[in-house]
Amino acid sequence: MAGEIQQLAGFDGLRRAKEWLDASTRVAHAWTIEDEPLRELLEFEWPHGGKGFSFDLGGKMRGGAFQDKSFVAEIKNYRRESDLPEHFRSFLAKCYVAYKAKPARCNHMMWISWAPFQARKWDHHTSPDNVRDAVIHHRESIFGTVDEGEARKNVDEAAVFETAQRLWLITLCEKQEHLVVSSEHLDELVKFMRAAERVS
């Protein structure tokens, strides 16, 4: 029963995160892990161990510096911190692996949740140091070794830096979800933006 409730919360969070991103007007196209066949664009493999992983959401952005840039996102519909720190560390390691494998799919990598975590370290969450620590923690899946020293020698520091630069940390709340362009106005804005894109 608990697993079913958690799954339903996950689906609800995915739907709400996509709706919020769409309403931002900065997402041109978005697809979820539930969308065939575009789900393949969200799937990656750990370098060692023969296991795969996927992000929940992805797509293409629009406007200004975001025009035609790709994004992937991990969605966590949690009410409290719970085990979010552990999930976030896994997310950072996945971002590193995904960037190394398919950088064109990873211009922006978003963590979207409804609960903050480890608030005293908030400014450190998306730092290169935190990315590196996550990569080393998941060293067996990334480098095929349990030896921490060997893993540290194999870390691609350029990839660590690039991964950190692409990270977004987004924390939503229910009221904030409604503080967006109305659906009626959004339709008109999207028509205007698409017409402008065709002209340019």
Q: For the chain, which residues make up each domain, given as ranges?
A: 2-199
* Backbone phi and psi for residue 58, each to the nearest 5 degrees, phi listed first: -160, 175
CB atoms inside a 10 Å sphere around CB 83: 10
**Predicted pLDDT of residue 139:** 98
| pLDDT attached to residue 138 | 98
Tell me how far CA of residue 137 lies from CA of 110, 144, 155, in angstroms: 20, 12, 12
| Rounded Cα gap, residues 177 and 21, in angstroms | 10
pLDDT of residue 6: 59
Q: Which residues pair with 167 in a beta bridge?
A: 109
For residue 126, what pLDDT is reported?
98
Q: Which of 49, 50, 51, 31 is nearest to 40 (CA)?
A: 31
Cα–Cα–Cα angle for 86, 89, 94, rounded to 5 degrees: 125
Residue ranges, the chain, pLDDT below 50? 1-5
Q: Rounded distance, CA 38 to CA 35, Å?
A: 6
pTM of the model: 0.90
